[in-house]
A and B are shown apart, each in its own frame.
Chain A
Amino acid sequence: MPTITTEGVRHVANLARLEFNDEETEHFTEQLARILDYIGKLNELDTDDVPPTSHIHPHQVVIMGSQTGASHVAKPDVVKPSYPREEVLANAPEPEEGYFGVPRVVDRSH
């Protein structure tokens, strides 16, 4: 199995929206490489003809041919009230005029 380098850790950290300093990057590289080395044990298994399991109740209906294997719980398509806006926004770090506030993502000069 392929393992992981410091460059790989930087790439994965960016994908996961995490950032590490050089010391942390070294630390995670060493630890993840060790864990992946242990996981390499799975290569002992011949799984060519083995189907993957993503869900343990395969007899249940698969949603739209997806691989989730989860049961298809269809609900009547009716509008129902959700949680009150102010209760949901009560947990928001910077609510603004009834919305979730975030740093500017659109440049006004364009």
Chain B
Amino acid sequence: MLYELTAHALHEKLKAREITAVALVESLYARIDAVEPHVKGYLTLTKDLALEQAHAADTGFQKGEDLPPLAGIPIAIKDVICTKGVRTTCASKILETFVPPYDATVMRKLHEQGVVVLGKTNMDEFAMGSSTENSAYQITHNPWNLDTIPGGSSGGSAAVVAADTAICSLGSDTGGSIRQPAALCGVVGMKPTYGRVSRYGLVAFASSLDQIGPFTKDVTDCALLLNAICGSDAMDATSVDVPVPDFTQSLINDVEGMKIGIPKEYFTPALDTEVADRVHTAIAVLEQLGATVEEISLPYTEYAIATYYIIAPAEASANLARYDGVRYGYRQENPEDLINMYKKTRSKGFGEEVKRRIMLGTFALSAGYQDAYYKKAQKARTLIKSDFDAAFEQVDVIATPTSPTPAFKIGERTADPLQMYLCDVMTTPASHAGLPGISVPCGLVQNGLPVGLQLLGAPFAEEKVLRVAYTFEQNTDHHLQKPQMHVNGATSS
């Protein structure tokens, strides 16, 4: 079926005019009709727009034009990225009716390639969460086991790629929100270096950490999407003006002589034993292929979560001040006065986790507490970053598990926010240091749920990360495994 294929395989078929982009969209929507009611990965579907975009791509292919690799490729977009004329909710009631008057820079770049946008995907409200259960609208189900969560916060974007209801998707990663759901849904997910991709039009959560990145079915597609979205942008002062290489040049099936560091602090007793086993097996594969594997130490790892849950909420409390009912979104009717309107609007419009983080961040920045919390966390961030700086003097790439456990049951961790925060223990350290990181599938545990291998590089060393990921993928078949969805007693693969 067409919906099962990768973007690079589909590009060859489109270019050879074996298939049309319209037929491809029809294939995806037939798949969406069949499994989306069970997965619930989308918040908004844009079939009419998708068909228009597909027609435009077909016109180009029919003329024999040399179209870019993503022309006519159906993609899903996390609902935190502004799409002109298409509702963008951040999975929050406060933005239920918000229709952006502009496109995010990444959308502009994707449209230049001629992509086909299938719809907007579910997420934790304002990207705050690790299970997508904090969506104000719906629970997304992991295609590998519909009783489990897809991870978060980009759970919808991960689930639709795993369910073959999109060829690829975009998500955003603040403390692991691309890498962790990619691992839990058995797909490839990458957070580029902070500053690689413009954040213009990405609704801000924690501005010093947020970064947009792709979910794909393999590493080749990941490189193609990076090529499309990376680059500095005058609209984002934190985007970095460094040359963007052709990332497909990093798709080299060879790790001979590369040094891979294994940080001992990530292999704690809290790590699921089956996850540890799959990751160790993956590392052994890379070693057999000629990589040099050495144990390293990142001593400040254990402080990463505490640091994250000061810095991210502090930045969020400032960023979310704009939702006051004045210029866009929800407004509580009949307020007593202006301040009362702000309070009623925000208290009704935000969900519980968002309020919790606004409270935590406001507290950490409030008079008398700023040095004890916020400044302390910024100093701890320096120490965490210095760990990585030292490690990358020694090794090319660092390999770890992406998540300490496979996907857990829906509802299992919602009662205890702190337990949910600890889901990010393997991903937040690299976020503090702004590093590029990828999660690639590295096997299944006994109950059939996927495990992810996380590969991290020095700032702007995406090419090394991609090379190791590609080599691993080319010598294993984990990325070819598909979930068998048990839907109404029938199996749909």
Contacts and interface: CB of A to CB of B under 8 A. Distances in A.
B338 A102 contact: yes
A59 B310 CA distance: 24
A91 B363 contact: no
Given A56-B385, A92-B327, A19 B303 contact: no
B383 interface: yes
A4 to B, nearest CB: 6
Given A1-B373, A18-B355, A35-B417, A12 B379 contact: no
A105 B343 CA distance: 15
Q: Select the residue from B344, B346, B360, B433 with max chain A CB neighbours within 10 A.
A: B360
B343 A18 contact: yes
Contacts of A72: 237
Contacts of A83: 101-102
Interface string A24-45: 0000100110111011111111
Contact of B380 (A45, A60, A94): A45
B329 interface: yes
Q: What is the size category of the interface that chain A forms with chain B?
A: 35 or more
Contacts of B344: 19
B306 A42 contact: yes
A71 B330 contact: no
A81 interface: no
B360 A57 contact: no
Nearest to A27: B352
Nearest to B343: A19
Contact of A57 (B194, B326, B327, B359): B194
Contact of B238 (A50, A70, A91): A70
Interface SS of B by simple majority: helix
A34 B418 contact: yes
Contact of B378 (A2, A36, A54, A87): A54
Interface in B348-380: 350, 355-356, 358-360, 362-363, 366, 368-369, 372-373, 375-380
B195 A57 contact: yes
Nearest to A48: B379
A16 interface: yes
A30 to B, nearest CB: 11
A42 B380 contact: yes
Contacts of A2: 368-369, 372
Q: Select the residue from A9, A39, A43 with max chain B CB neighbours within 10 A.
A: A39
B459 A57 contact: yes
A73 B329 CA distance: 31
Contacts of B342: 17
A88 B98 CA distance: 11
A56 B362 contact: no
B363 A39 contact: no
B101 A28 contact: no
B101 A88 contact: yes
A92 B347 CA distance: 19
A70 B237 contact: yes
A52 B378 contact: yes
Given A47-B376, A52-B381, A4 B363 contact: yes
B418 A38 contact: yes
Nearest to B434: A56
B41 interface: no
Contact of A19 (B347, B358, B366, B385): B347
Nearest to B367: A15
B153 interface: no
Contacts of B363: 4, 8, 12, 32, 36
Interface string B222-252: 0000000000001001101100000000000
A100 B212 CA distance: 31
A89 B302 CA distance: 47
Interface in A75-110: 75, 83-84, 87-88, 90-94, 100, 102-105
A100 B373 CA distance: 37
A16 B342 CA distance: 10
Interface of A: 1-2, 4, 8-9, 11-13, 15-20, 28, 31-32, 34-36, 38-45, 47, 50-57, 60, 70-73, 75, 83-84, 87-88, 90-94, 100, 102-105
Interface of B: 97-99, 101-102, 194-195, 208, 234, 237-238, 240-241, 300, 302-303, 305-307, 309-310, 317, 321, 324-331, 335-344, 346-347, 350, 355-356, 358-360, 362-363, 366, 368-369, 372-373, 375-383, 385, 417-418, 421, 432-434, 459
30 contacts: A2-B369, A2-B372, A12-B366, A16-B317, A16-B362, A18-B347, A18-B358, A32-B356, A35-B360, A36-B360, A36-B363, A40-B306, A42-B306, A42-B310, A45-B380, A47-B383, A50-B382, A52-B378, A53-B378, A56-B195, A56-B208, A56-B434, A57-B195, A57-B434, A60-B240, A75-B234, A91-B98, A91-B329, A93-B329, A102-B338
Given A91-B329, A103-B341, 16 more contacts: A2-B372, A15-B362, A16-B362, A18-B346, A18-B347, A32-B359, A35-B360, A35-B418, A35-B421, A39-B309, A43-B376, A45-B300, A52-B375, A75-B234, A92-B328, A93-B330
